Structure 1
Amino acid sequence: MAEKIDTRAVGLDVGLAFIRWLTGAENLHYGLWTGLKVTAGNLKTAQEAYTARLFGYLPPGRLRILDIGGGAGETARKLLDLGHEVEIVVPSAFLAARCRANAPGATVHECTFEAFSGQGLYDLCLFSESFQYIPMAESLPKCAALLAPGGQVVIADCFRTEAYKGRRAHGPQAGGGHGLAAFRKALEGSAFRVAAEEDITAEVAPSIDLEQQFFNVIGHGVTRLSDEIRTRKPAAHWSLTRFIGLFLSKKRRANLMRRLTGNERNAEGFQTFNRYLMLRLERKA
Structure 2
Amino acid sequence: MDLKSLELDAAGLLSEVMYGHGFAHYGYFPEGPPETLSAAAFGAAQQAYFERLVGAVPEGTKSILDVGSGTGANARALVKRGFDVTCVSPSVQMNEMARRKLPPGTEVIDAKFEDYEGGEHDCCLFAESFHYIELQPAFDQLARVARQSIVIFDYFRRPGFAHGGGTRGTHAAFCEAVEAQGVFAIESDVDETDAIAPSFAIHDHIKNAHVAPFVKRFRSAFRAESRLKAWAAEKVLGRALDKFERASSRSDSFPKEHEYRLVVLTRREA
- Shorter-chain TM range is 0.7 to 0.9
Unaligned residue ranges in structure 1 (runs of 5+): none
1:282 partnered with 2:266 = yes
The DSSP-based 3-state class of the residue aligned with 1:158 is strand
* Structure 1 residue 56 displacement after superposition: 1.4
Distance 1:166-1:64 versus aligned 2 partners, 3 A rule: closer
Matches within 5 A, 1:76-115: 76-104=75-103, 105-115=105-115
- Partner residue of 1:196 out of 188, 191, 197: 188
Task: Write out per-residue CA displacement over residues 6-52 of structure 1, whole angstroms, 9 at most, x where no aligned residue.
Answer: 76665554433322222222101010123333321112210111111
- Partners of 1:147 and 1:228 lie apart in 2 by 54
Unaligned residue ranges in structure 2 (runs of 5+): none
> Quick one: which amino acid aligns to residue 111 of structure 2?
C
Q: Which residue of 1 aligns with 2:201?
A: 209
Distance 1:69-1:263 versus aligned 2 partners, 3 A rule: closer
- Partners of 2:190 and 2:201 lie apart in 1 by 22
Distance 1:165-1:91 versus aligned 2 partners, 3 A rule: closer
Identical aligned pairs, as a percentage? Answer: 29
* Structure 1 residue 147 displacement after superposition: 2.8
> Quick one: which amino acid aligns to residue 220 of structure 1?
P
1:263 partnered with 2:260 = no
Q: Which residue of 2 aligns with 1:16?
A: 12
> Quick one: which amino acid aligns to residue 251 of structure 2?
A
* Structure 1 residue 144 displacement after superposition: 1.2
* Structure 1 residue 240 displacement after superposition: 7.3
- Partners of 2:6 and 2:48 lie apart in 1 by 28
The question of whether the paired residues in 2 share the 8 Å contact of 1:198 and 1:277 is answered with yes
The DSSP-based 3-state class of the residue aligned with 2:123 is strand
- Partners of 2:255 and 2:143 lie apart in 1 by 31
- Partners of 1:71 and 1:246 lie apart in 2 by 28
1:135 partnered with 2:134 = yes
The question of whether the paired residues in 2 share the 8 Å contact of 1:159 and 1:176 is answered with no
The question of whether the paired residues in 2 share the 8 Å contact of 1:68 and 1:89 is answered with yes
The TM-score normalised by the length of structure 1 is: 0.80
- Partners of 1:239 and 1:189 lie apart in 2 by 59
Distance 1:52-1:164 versus aligned 2 partners, 3 A rule: same
- Partners of 1:199 and 1:33 lie apart in 2 by 13
- Partners of 1:248 and 1:181 lie apart in 2 by 39
- Partners of 1:66 and 1:205 lie apart in 2 by 27
- Partners of 1:238 and 1:81 lie apart in 2 by 51
Distance 1:13-1:155 versus aligned 2 partners, 3 A rule: closer
Matches within 5 A, 1:245-264: 246-247=235-236, 252=239, 257=242, 260-264=245-249
- Partners of 2:233 and 2:99 lie apart in 1 by 37
- Partners of 1:64 and 1:92 lie apart in 2 by 22
> Quick one: which amino acid aligns to residue 211 of structure 1?
H
* Structure 1 residue 61 displacement after superposition: 2.6
- Partners of 1:15 and 1:94 lie apart in 2 by 13
* Structure 1 residue 221 displacement after superposition: 2.1
> Quick one: which amino acid aligns to residue 149 of structure 2?
Q
Q: Matched residue pairs, number?
A: 263
The question of whether the paired residues in 2 share the 8 Å contact of 1:157 and 1:177 is answered with no
> Quick one: which amino acid aligns to residue 46 of structure 1?
A
- Partners of 2:255 and 2:70 lie apart in 1 by 24
Q: Which residue of 2 aligns with 1:55?
A: 54
